[in-house]
Amino acid sequence: MEKDVAVIGVGQSSFVRGYEGSIRELAFEAFREAMQDAGITQKDVDASVFCSAPEYDKQRSPAGVLAEYLGLIPQPTFYVETVCSSSSTGVKVGYSMIKSGLHDIVVVVGFQKMSEITSAESQERMGRGADIQWEAPFGTMMPAYYAMYAQAYMAKNGLTHDDLRDVRLKSATYGTTNERAVYRKGVKAADFDPNNPEAKMAGPVAWPLRVGDCCANADGSSCIILANKEKAKALSKKPIWIIGIGAASEAVNMAARPEFAKGLSVGYKAAEQAYKMAGITARDVKVAEVHDCFTIAEVMAYEGLGFAPMGEGKQLIREKATYKEGRIPVNVDGGLLSKGHPIGATGGSQMRTIVLQLRGEAGPMQVAGDPGIGLVHNVGGVGLYGNVTIFGR
Amino acid sequence: MGFEKFGRKSFTAVTKTGKFVDLLIEGKVEGTVCKKCGAKFFPPRADCATCLSKEMDWFEMPKKGTLETFTTAYYAPFGFEADPPYTMGVVDFDGGLKLFARLAKEIKPEDVKVGMGVTIRPLKYEDGQVSFEISKA
């Protein structure tokens, strides 16, 4: 397997509601941690890439502003966007910049201050998250799109509401152990019981998805520092190599989508490329972070990544195979559901978790067995963009 | 001009497929078909994604399809607050065409099933907006 580009530093802010600071201060939190982790100074950095979903930013063209605040001028900087997978795409771009030989060390920062705009403005933008010409006029929102995937999937594959609830219970279990998570409270099965008047997770949002099936908005930042082989070996005691990258896109309009019961096409297409590049199969992956913006998305990801055969993702949840002690631990940092989903920061945060796992530095979240290969699955929009990145030691 | 009349609330004013709205007012739900290569599109496109031609014709969408999936929204985005609950879904017609729309109000959410036979029809709102909806076959 290829070992040309490594991660030498990772950082993440706490994911919170209503961050008490500006976007430049938010970005700095992840950057500071990643720079201290890598043990380098700004003089060592050749270029920076900034990633967010721009509809939440009041600052036009944030890359230059943030690069200045982080002390990364006059090096080149620019902005990358693929909605919820922006920072995975940013890492793919950073990888390419290094692999091409243009630069030795590249900093990729993902950030999102969702609370930068009012909740009414936010709701309006949510409605425009997909095809604004042909779908938004019907009153669509993100949960409604994923609910349509859930409906078709549940009808065909026998997945139940209890299975979806159990995905959330798993995420919540690990959310309680992650001090950077926005949702640190535990969740009980009774919280999903429609006959329980106190059940805060049971209310319908877009049926069949309930409140507890949806991830939490948050403010947050992430930072991944990439280096070429020579710099990585000179600077880092535990470089974690990017050994596989896959990415795909899909039609925005639901009318142009392949069979809904099969899940998001970008997931399995990106996975196929990444496995091929790494020269491995799903069985070789020992720990994974998948894009669980909704509970159904995690089950579909199990299949798209080959952790379970098509239609059988529910078995992994029923057998607790994706718990920390299971065959293939998934989202043991709380996932988007409990850790939170600050759109532009999410991919970098998932990568940070996997890098810490492969270094054996994940603290209370550390999986057993000294994992050597980990995977990040990060989706933008309703399966509009898909990124799979595989890491090895 | 004219496309702001499409749907409950339109976010697009100008498109080369604006005739779609005129056709809806005439009672027709139409897609576009490429004059060069015959590729069919719904929603309509002004340019052929297959052969890059810009010579497109209109064709009437099939009437009979099956409901591939659906959801009932209990919350709505800004500007749609008065509407919930409402059900939206995807119709699969034989021949590769699909369509996304709301389901007619008269269909109760508990009666909607994946795989049920459905049809489509144009719709006019009281405020003059025009759209199309999925109804029982």
User: Homologous superfamily of A5-118+220-235 in CATH?
Assistant: Thiolase/Chalcone synthase (3.40.47.10)
Please give the model's pTM, rounded to 2 decimal places: 0.97
Interface of B with A (CB under 8 A): 3, 6-12, 15, 42-43, 68-80, 83, 86, 88-90, 97-102, 109, 114-115, 131
Strands of the B30-34 sheet, one edge to the other: B40-41, B30-34, B56-60
Whole-number Å distance between alpha carbons of A213 and A217: 13
Nearest residue of chain B to residue A121 (CA atoms): B78
To test the contact with chain A by mutation, choose from B3, B20, B42, B69 the residue with the greatest count of A C-beta atoms within 10 A, namely B69
The CATH number for B125's domain is 2.40.50.840
Q: Which of A138, A157, A213 to mutate to test the interface with B (most CBs of B within 10 A)?
A: A138
Of B11, B78, B86, the CB nearest to A132: B11
> Closest by alpha carbon to B100, among A124, A140, A382, A259?
A140
β-strand partners of B120: B134
Give Cα A2 distance to the centre of its chain: 23
Flag if A139 and B77 touch (Cβ within 8 Å).
yes
- B93 → chain A, closest CA residue: A255
Give dist(CA B30, CA B43) in Å, integer: 8
* Residue with token string 């990106």: A270
Rg for chain A (alpha carbons), in Å? Answer: 19
**3-state helix/strand/coil string of chain A:** CCCCEEEEEEEECCCECCCCCCHHHHHHHHHHHHHHHHCCCHHHCCEEEEECCHHHCCCCCHHHHHHHHCCCCCCCEEEECCHHHHHHHHHHHHHHHHHCCCCCEEEEEEEEEHHHCCHHHHHHHHHCCCCCCCCHHHCCCHHHHHHHHHHHHHHHHCCCHHHHHHHHHHHHHHHCCCCCCCCCCCCCHHHHCCCCCCCCCCCEEEECEEHHHECCCCEEEEEEEEEEHHHHHHHCCCCEEEEEEEEEECCCCHHHCCCHHHCCHHHHHHHHHHHHHHCCCHHHCCEEECCCCEHHHHHHHHHHCCCCCCCCHHHHHHCCCCCCCCCCCECCCCHHHHCCCCHHHHHHHHHHHHHHHHHCCCHHHCCCCCCCEEEEEEEECCCCEEEEEEEEC
Residue B51, classed as helix, strand or coil, is coil
Of the candidates A238, A237, A234, the one whose C-alpha atom is nearest the C-alpha of residue A44 is A234
One digit per residue, the tens of pLDDT, for chain B of length 137 reads 589 999 999 999 999 999 999 999 999 999 999 999 999 999 999 999 999 999 999 999 999 999 999 999 999 888 898 999 999 999 999 878 999 999 999 999 899 999 999 999 999 999 999 999 999 98
Q: Which residues of A touch B15 (CB under 8 A)?
A: 133
CA distance A345 to A86: 8
Total residues belonging to chain B: 137
- Catalytic site residues of A? 84, 341
DSSP B10: -
Cβ separation B11–A133 shorter than 8 A: yes
Taking the C-alpha atoms of residue B23 and residue A139, their distance in angstroms, rounded to an integer, is: 22
Contact B97, B61 (CB under 8 A): yes
- Report the alpha-carbon distance of residue A108 to residue A24 in Å, rounded: 14
The Cα-based distances of B55 to B19, B20, B59 in angstroms read 14, 16, 13
Under 8 Å between Cβ of B99 and B122 = no
Q: What ipTM does the predicted assembly reach?
A: 0.96
Three-state SS at B23: helix
Task: Calculate the dihedral angle through the C-alpha atoms of A47, A51, A54, A60, rounding to the nearest 10 degrees.
Answer: -20
Q: Using an 8 Å Cβ cutoff, are A325 and A332 in contact?
A: no
- Best B5, B15, B100, B113 residue to mutate vs chain A (most A CBs within 10 Å): B100
User: In total, how many domains does chain B have?
Assistant: 1
Enclosing domain of residue B19: 3-136
Question: Given the DSSP bridges, would you call strands B30-34 and B40-41 parallel, antiparallel or unpaired?
Answer: antiparallel
At position B118, the amino acid (one-letter code) is V
Rounded to a whole number, what is the distance in Å from the CA of A123 to chain B's nearest CA? 5
pLDDT by residue for chain A (393 residues), tens only, comes to 789 999 999 999 999 999 999 999 999 999 999 999 999 999 999 999 999 998 888 899 999 999 999 999 999 999 999 999 999 999 999 999 999 999 999 999 999 999 888 777 777 776 676 899 999 999 999 999 999 999 999 999 999 999 999 999 999 999 999 999 999 999 999 999 999 999 999 999 999 999 999 998 899 999 999 999 999 999 999 999 999 999 999 999 999 999 999 999 999 999 999 999 999 999 999 999 999 999 999 999 999 999 999 999 999 999 999 999 999 999 999 999 999 999 999 999 999 999 999 999 999 999 999 999 999 999 999 999 999 999 999
Cβ proximity of A212 and A192 under 8 Å: yes
Q: Which two tokens stand for residue A231?
A: 């710099």
The C-alpha atoms of residue B86 and residue A72 are separated, in whole angstroms, by 50
Of B12, B89, B100, the CB nearest to A253: B100
For residue A362, the one-letter residue type is A
Rounded Cα distance between A101 and A305, Å, is 31
Q: Where are the domains of chain A?
A: 5-118+220-235
* Chain A hits for B83, Cβ within 8 Å: 139
